[in-house]
Amino acid sequence: MAGELGAKAMAMIADLARHTDEPGRLTRLYLSPAHQACAEATAGLMRNAGLAVSMDPLGTVVGRREGPAPGAKTLLVGSHIDSVVNAGIYDGPLGVVCGILAADVLRGEELPFALEVLAFGDEENVRFPTSLASSSALAGDFKPEWLDGEDADGVTLREALLAFGGDPERIGEISRDPAGTLGYLEVHIEQGPVLEAKDLSVGVVTAINGATRSRCTVTGMAGHAGTVPMGMRADALAAAAEMVSLVEAAGAKARDAVATVGVLEVSPGALNVIPAEARFTLDIRAPDDAVRAALVEEIVSGCAAIAARRGVGFAEARFMDQAATAMDESLIRALETGAGRAGYDAIRLPSGAGHDAVATARLCPSAMLFVRCEGGISHNPAEAITAADAEAAVRTLVEAIRAIARG
């Protein structure tokens, strides 16, 4: 049942959703005017929760409650406030708002650590060719070459950052000391259907999937669709279609893995011409790197075998091989304890999508709480959660922070 915290969370998220670069739909790209307005609104919510607010040189909004003594470690809680194009309103802001509300609930309680709520600005990586730039900087892993990356209008990250009021020369100051950082907690919508299928409000993430991405090319021979006999063809599309079926079947039987062909292009693309070339993408993910590597090998070797049997060429060009990110077991248990103390059951599950926790895990122990979303829909205006599940998220986070405080 929804309570006051759930209602507050929903109202705060709806208010932040007013800030968009495109009237009529939510698009809030990193360092855009909408991002700046949302950052200012987020700072106001943090101040209302009793936090001291600052903005770091990359535009991350930081709300801080000091620890009991100088030198106390800091527990970080956060997520992001940028969005994809034509987004839903919960992806990112839910975690920021839950952190703010948790800080407010805990305002009168003694904690043995400092508490910070972070609103990162570049998780979606839509505008610039970056990778979790604002949270990576926290871990001391900002790539200087990102500053020269351009958006679709030719604006560099450096130029956009200066216009935003950031400072490219001070990015190194964002890096935190691992010895002084207790951990990082992130609340996020699941972006998948598992919690809904199990009728659960929350779940605890075990690992964020590693990912392999490739561009594959199948090369056949163009010919007249009416004159070349079926048994004498080198049809690139027919071969690619069999390969796509192989990808689906292999992904379906691998443990906790997924395999997707998201793009398929055909040349010459004429109704009466046998396709000479087919190009498709591979996206293979799993929380276990060994499982992922075995699945990649099975798919690539299987595609090569199909090509040899059909008399066509096959080439795979890999452009991403990102390792999985394990979440910290002690923080996983703290979130599970928090859920139990708040009165909710929680399962463990992997994350198929990337999050700021990938970057923070290079700095400190990190963990994530997933919240049920309707139909598993995300990156879509139809993205939806209930006030009752927002309540569950805030209460679980509060109790998890208390569990960490108890040691």
Going by C-alpha positions, the residue among 142, 139, 183 that lies closest to residue 369 is: 183
Confidence at residue 321, expressed as pLDDT on a 0 to 100 scale: 92
Confidence at residue 178, expressed as pLDDT on a 0 to 100 scale: 98
Model confidence pLDDT, tens digit, residues 247-303: 999 999 999 999 999 999 999 999 999 999 999 999 999 999 999 999 999 999 999
pTM for this model (two decimals): 0.89
**Distance of alpha carbon 378 from alpha carbon 381, whole angstroms:** 8
Confidence at residue 2, expressed as pLDDT on a 0 to 100 scale: 67
Q: Using DSSP, state whether 134 is helix, strand or coil.
A: helix
* Domain coordinates in residue numbering, the chain: 4-208+325-405, 210-322
Task: Spell out, as residue ranges, where the chain has pLDDT lower than 50.
Answer: none
Confidence at residue 1, expressed as pLDDT on a 0 to 100 scale: 57
**Distance of alpha carbon 319 from alpha carbon 213, whole angstroms:** 6
Confidence at residue 131, expressed as pLDDT on a 0 to 100 scale: 87
Question: What is the percent of the chain with per-residue pLDDT over 90, rounded to a whole number?
Answer: 97
If 0-12 CB within 10 Å is exposed, 13-18 middle and 19+ buried, where does residue 281 land? middle
Do 184 and 358 touch, CB atoms closer than 8 A?
A: no
Q: Using DSSP, state whether 369 is helix, strand or coil.
A: strand
Label the pairing between strands 366-371 and 181-189: parallel
Confidence at residue 252, expressed as pLDDT on a 0 to 100 scale: 97
Contacting residues for 180 by C-beta, under 8 A, at least 6 apart = 71, 73, 74
Model confidence pLDDT, tens digit, residues 62-91: 999 999 998 899 999 999 999 999 999 999
What architecture (CATH level 2) is domain 4-208+325-405? 3-Layer(aba) Sandwich (3.40)
Would you list the DSSP string of 32-44?
SHHHHHHHHHHHH
Do 171 and 142 touch, CB atoms closer than 8 A?
A: yes
DSSP classification of residue 250 = H
Model confidence pLDDT, tens digit, residues 157-167: 999 999 999 99
The CATH code of the domain at 210-322 is: 3.30.70.360
Confidence at residue 407, expressed as pLDDT on a 0 to 100 scale: 87
- Residue environment code for 207-236, b if the CB has 16+ CB neighbours within 10 A, otherwise e: bbbbbbbbebbbbbbbbeeeeeeeeebbbb
223 has which bridge partners?
274
A 10 A CB-CB count for 320 gives: 11
